[in-house]
């Protein structure tokens, strides 16, 4: 089974530039998440999609971050303009469960991609 | 705001000993609890999940959950140098009651197994 694909693996930009990350979830997974992991911290949820709809974007800095999942499959996360504090690893994850379903009722789990490491100079 | 607290460490444990990692969470109605292992430069890897009070064992790993105390722990028996990593506690479920809602992670505990 193919895993969650992300690209690019690394990206270096200067502050105020824009950047985009791409994610292709595991085939058939309805739910897709974008997490931000700053060095020394745990992943922080930025946005959650179910198919092509947003379930939760309460922690997404909407003045500079945007994300879409137009066809309910792959997704793009964009930062414009980037700030120094955006330097982090951006992780994409997918799950076959739908919002409201409980992990404990099945043996499903969250699958992470390898992440995109962003350095803003 | 849901919070998950972990001691960042580093926690140093001799090879062959038991490593004990702890986590507390703020949302009393949380339903699902996970331990992820993360090696430097890699993405998190699920090692244990637990959903009900008590202990759950899988090989050298035991997860313990006490919902009354809002406390989750992970024990690693016969610790090996390859267990050296950051261990992330994650929690989901709560206000919306949804298990498929995004996980809230702690900052992680850096574990070092000394040969």
Per-residue pLDDT of chain A (121 residues; tens, 9 = 90+): 679 999 999 999 999 999 999 999 999 898 999 999 999 999 999 999 998 899 889 899 999 999 999 888 999 999 999 999 999 999 999 988 777 676 665 556 788 999 999 999 9
Q: pLDDT at position A112, please? A: 92
- Mapped onto helix, strand or coil, the DSSP state of residue B31 is coil
CB pairs under 8 A between A and B: 81
Quote the percentage of chain B above a pLDDT of 90.
77
- In the prediction, which pLDDT does A108 show? 67
| Whether the predicted pLDDT of B107 surpasses 50 | yes
**Nearest CA of chain A to the CA of B80: how many Å?**
23
Give the distance from residue B46's alpha carbon to the nearest chain A alpha carbon, in angstroms. 8
pLDDT value at B19 more than 70: yes
Give the per-residue pLDDT at B100.
53
Contacts of B87 (CB under 8 A, 6+ apart): B6, B21, B35, B36, B37, B38, B74, B108, B109, B111
pLDDT tens for each residue of A29-61: 989 999 999 999 999 999 999 988 998 898 999
Q: Is A116 on the interface with B (CB under 8 A)?
A: no
């Amino acid at each position: 089974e193919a895993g969650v694909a992300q690209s690019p693996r690394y990206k270096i930009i200067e502050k105020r530039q824009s950047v985009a990350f791409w994610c292709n979830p595991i085939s058939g997974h309805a739910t897709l998440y974008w997490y931000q992991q700053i060095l020394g911290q745990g992943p922080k949820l930025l946005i959650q999609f179910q198919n092509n709809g947003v379930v939760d974007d309460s922690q997404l800095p909407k003045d500079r971050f945007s994300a879409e999942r137009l066809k309910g499959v792959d997704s793009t996360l964009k930062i414009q303009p980037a700030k120094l504090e955006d330097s982090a690893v951006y992780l994409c994850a997918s799950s076959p469960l739908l919002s409201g379903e409980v992990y404990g009722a099945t043996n499903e789990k969250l699958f992470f991609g390898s992440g995109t490491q962003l350095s803003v100079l | 705001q849901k919070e998950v607290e972990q001691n960042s460490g580093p926690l140093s444990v001799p090879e062959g000993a038991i490593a004990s990692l702890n986590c507390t969470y703020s949302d009393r109605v949380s339903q699902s609890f996970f331990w992820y292992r993360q090696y430097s430069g890699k993405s998190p890897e699920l090692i244990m999940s637990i959903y009900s009070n008590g202990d759950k064992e899988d090989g050298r790993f035991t997860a313990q959950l006490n919902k009354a105390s809002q406390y989750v722990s992970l024990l690693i028996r016969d610790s090996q140098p390859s267990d050296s990593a950051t261990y992330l506690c994650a929690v989901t479920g709560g206000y919306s009651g949804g298990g498929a809602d995004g996980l809230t992670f702690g900052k992680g505990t850096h574990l070092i197994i000394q040969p």
